[in-house]
A and B are shown apart, each in its own frame.
Chain A
């Protein structure tokens, strides 16, 4: 089955740019989606189709995907961005399934 690899943690100072990676074999050939989850809350979609933002998500959130790495970029990081972030793909190689990355804890210093 398909595997997505994320760094367990990323730290960034307020106002700086955070980059969270999601690695997978030829992930650039798939569409990657990203979720933000704050403690005690359900996940929230922040990026879909590699780089599209749902309504209500700030322009500070952006995404890219190429080769073996997809990246979620958060510009001008704010304290409220501190959360866990998960990447996700749809794997239809055998029985259809959803695949999540292990998650990355973003800490705002």
Chain B
């Protein structure tokens, strides 16, 4: 059974850092495209970042240069390092697995989410 379990969320001051983790089971993280998606309170879904199975990474403009997606193969875990946090980064952060074809990708499994609150 595929499972994704996020952790690492919490309260952090503006300008601070936080690292989110997403422990996967039932499949191999490094063989899949993995992504982070966030949702601010009362708002819609916003894509944050993706890491390809080959290791390439891409980011939304809103987090480029501040967030870093990575993975630890032996721990089968996905990470999101978040630096220079702003109030507008406050959101529930979901990790999700992407199902892929040559022309498109979609999220077939999601974690339960972890809340990040940026506030002084």
- Identify the A interface with B (CB < 8 A): 30-31, 33, 35, 37, 42-45, 48-49, 54, 84, 86, 88-90, 95-103
B94:A42 contact, CB within 8 angstroms: yes
23 contacting pairs across A/B (C-beta < 8 A): A31-B101, A31-B104, A35-B45, A42-B111, A43-B45, A43-B110, A45-B107, A48-B99, A48-B106, A48-B108, A49-B106, A86-B45, A88-B107, A89-B104, A90-B103, A90-B104, A90-B105, A90-B106, A96-B58, A98-B35, A98-B50, A102-B44, A103-B45
- Identify the B interface with A (CB < 8 A): 35, 37, 44-47, 50, 58, 60, 94, 99, 101, 103-108, 110-113
Interface majority SS (helix, strand, loop, mixed), chain B:
strand
What residues of A have a CB within 8 angstroms of the CB of B104 in the complex? 30-31, 33, 49, 89-90
Min distance, Cβ A8 to any Cβ of chain B, angstroms: 10
A42:B47 contact, CB within 8 angstroms: no
The number of inter-chain residue pairs (CB within 8 angstroms) is 63
A103:B108 contact, CB within 8 angstroms: no
What's the Cα separation between A84 and B45 when bound, in Å? 10
What's the Cα separation between A97 and B47 when bound, in Å? 8
Q: Which of B35, B45, B58, B106 has the most CB of A within 10 A?
A: B106
B45:A100 contact, CB within 8 angstroms: yes
B107:A95 contact, CB within 8 angstroms: no
What's the Cα separation between A49 and B35 when bound, in Å? 19
